[in-house]
Amino acid sequence: MAFQIKSDKKETENKTIRFPLPLVQQIEQAIQGKDTSFSGFVIQACQYALDNLQPSKK
């Protein structure tokens, strides 16, 4: 399943996270012209990663 950027407004909690500048620039380019914010993109990317996370082998 491919990652798709969606518009999404939900109840939230503030968290502080530091991003490498090149990653910030890539995200800002990806969301340009889309109906989503930087935070919205990061939330969607995290959800996608969690949904597609491979179980760890113990």
- d(CA 24, CA 14) in angstroms, rounded, equals 18
- pTM, whole model, 2 decimals? 0.74
- Which pLDDT score is estimated for 9? 67
Residue spans per domain, the chain = 21-51
List per-residue pLDDT tens for the chain, 58 residues long.
688 777 666 777 889 999 999 999 999 999 999 999 999 999 999 999 999 998 887 7
The closest alpha carbon to 49, from 1, 17, 11, belongs to 1
**CA angle in degrees (0–180, nearest 5) for 6-26-10:** 30
